[in-house]
Structure 1
């Protein structure tokens, strides 16, 4: 299997793990609830482990840009649907610009081998 494809799969797992961990960070109520705190710790450890595997084939800046922007977008999505946290137009535009930046990097940057 292509090492780049595997690296992006690991990056995807890292992002999903981090978003789940962040969701349980909210549910831990400042680390006062044991089970959500344990789940968030496991998810964050998994997220950094998967990110370390992704970095074998994806440059750090590119991986972190994808991690950050996709993670923010997914976390905002979870916040909206799970915690009823509304996003204003500026937040939606900002998140869209971050996603657009990742697309520009993936399509046009020579930092990423295709």
Structure 2
């Protein structure tokens, strides 16, 4: 169940981060409200996750997979440029998450 909570934490954090631009620097009420709710849920789910999943592994997965998802969302929906260097960087982040999980699997 720890990994289910972790995936939920990643999902709502990605939603919150995706909405950050819409807040206009936290000057728009509803986007700001949704960002704060998403981040609160992300921390709630993360706190439940680390009861089972080692903190280092959970945080690596949360930050790594979240980063990869945000780069993809930025490129697909927010008009952000995607370069070969960005793709390589995301690949390295994902490789790091995989290595941490392999070590945590013993």
| TM-score bracket, shorter-length normalisation | over 0.9
Q: Distance in 1 between matches of 2:94 and 2:26?
A: 31
Dislocated runs of 4+, deviation >2 Å: none
CA contact (8 A) 2:5 2:48 kept: yes
1:80 Cα deviation from its structure 2 partner: 0.9
Higher helix share: 2
Instruction: State how 1:10-29 maps to structure 2 within 5 Å.
Output: 10-29=5-24
TM-score after normalising by structure 1: 0.88
Q: TM-score, normalised by structure 2?
A: 0.95
Give 5+ residue unaligned stretches, structure 2.
none
Q: Which residue number corresponds to residue 85 of structure 1? A: 80
Q: Deviations over 1:54-75 (max 9, x none)?
A: 0001111111111111000001
CA deviation map 1:7-28 (0-9, x unaligned): 0110000001101001111111
1:103 aligned residue: 98
Confirm whether residue 58 of structure 1 aligns to residue 53 of structure 2: yes
User: Could you say which residue in structure 1 is the equivalent of 2:67?
Assistant: 72
CA shift at 1:113, angstroms? 3.8
**In structure 1, C-alpha distance between the alignment counterparts of 2:94 and 2:38, rounded to whole Å:** 23
Aligned residue among 79, 89, 104 for 1:94: 89
Q: Aligned residues, how many?
A: 106
CA RMSD in angstroms comes to 1.1
